[in-house]
């Protein structure tokens, strides 16, 4: 049983909702980013999603897009991202999920990537531009590719996501890109329909940035993903490590408290 499977079992046993935090690998730098991961764990984050910088992040909004571009400018690549994943794994006990677009994985070789990801200590990967229709090609590879669903998904697509899911299903809250939003649509019907067609935990992400938003959707999901708000906090405080870690911890604590 890997860290992700264990954490999901623990959350279910405690009847507790989980917080998935997102950060970009090595942002603002390798050492500080590892400290950020440790701060998120100490503040109550249950699972950490680590992004691989990419030049064409089509699923991401402005805040995370800027983080992608900063990473690319610094020469970040899959090799360095995997090294960062290993460092985080060795310095905290958070379950780790990598977020990467498909091209860097394909260029590396999917089977090679799967072995390297496991060696680095991550439990799964989210690939936003890998359609569910293509997922069958990689079903025999020993890596948990988290299936994603949009609010427009029909019953057949929900069933397909459930078939491929190993740990949880990622339910995108909006038919759009990541990014902080003042208001989210009513997700009750959407999440209820997915819930009725799967036995796997449901994570909801895209657009969720405040404790108030988390509180409104917690009854319909098992996990809530927050990315842009955390990435923006890192971006805005990157010149002062002490302030950065303090602000990041405060935000994570607020988000986790809203799930209780």
- Residues 79 and 113: beta-carbon distance below 8 Å: no
Residue 9 has a CB neighbour count (10 Å cut-off) of 11
- Residues 206 and 176: beta-carbon distance below 8 Å: yes
Q: Would you call 121 helix, strand, or coil by DSSP?
A: coil
Strand pairing category for 202-205 and 47-51: unpaired
Which of 49, 65, 144, 180 is the catalytic position?
A: 49
User: 80: part of which helix (H) or strand (E)?
Assistant: helix 78-91
Angle (deg, nearest 10), helices 62-73 and 228-236: 50
In eight-state DSSP terms, residue 136 is: G
Q: What DSSP string describes 192-204?
A: HHHHTT-SS-EEE
Is 49 one of the annotated active-site residues of the chain? Answer: yes
SS3 content of the chain, % helix, strand, coil (to 5): 50, 15, 35
- Residues 128 and 59: beta-carbon distance below 8 Å: yes
Is 236 one of the annotated active-site residues of the chain? Answer: no
**CA-closest candidate to residue 254, choices 226, 220, 221:** 226
Which of 60, 65, 116, 222 is the catalytic position?
A: 60
| Residues designated as active site | 49, 60
């Amino acid at each position: 049983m890997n860290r992700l499977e264990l954490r999901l079992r623990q959350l279910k046993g405690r009847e507790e909702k989980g917080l998935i935090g997102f950060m970009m690998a090595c942002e603002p730098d390798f050492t500080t980013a590892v400290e950020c991961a440790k701060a998120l764990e100490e503040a109550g984050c249950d699972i950490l999603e680590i992004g691989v910088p990419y030049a064409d992040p089509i699923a991401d909004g402005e805040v995370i897009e800027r983080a992608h571009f900063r990473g690319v400018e610094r020469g970040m690549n899959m090799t360095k991202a995997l090294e960062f994943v290993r460092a985080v794994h060795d310095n905290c006990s958070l379950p780790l999920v990598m977020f990467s677009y498909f091209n860097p994985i394909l260029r590396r070789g999917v089977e090679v990537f799967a072995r390297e990801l496991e060696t680095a200590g991550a439990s799964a990967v989210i690939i936003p531009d890998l359609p569910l229709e293509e997922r069958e090609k990689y079903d025999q590879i020993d890596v948990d590719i988290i299936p994603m669903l949009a609010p427009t998904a029909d019953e057949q697509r929900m069933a397909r996501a459930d078939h491929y899911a190993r740990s949880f299903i990622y339910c995108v809250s909006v038919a759009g890109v990541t990014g902080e939003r003042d208001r989210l649509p009513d997700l009750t019907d959407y999440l209820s329909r997915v819930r009725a067609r799967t036995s796997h935990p449901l994570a909801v992400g895209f657009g969720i940035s405040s404790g108030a938003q988390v509180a409104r959707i917690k009854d319909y999901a098992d996990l809530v993903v927050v990315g842009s708000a955390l990435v923006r906090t890192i971006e805005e405080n990157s010149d002062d490590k002490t302030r950065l870690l303090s602000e990041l911890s405060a935000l994570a604590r607020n988000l986790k408290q809203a799930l209780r």
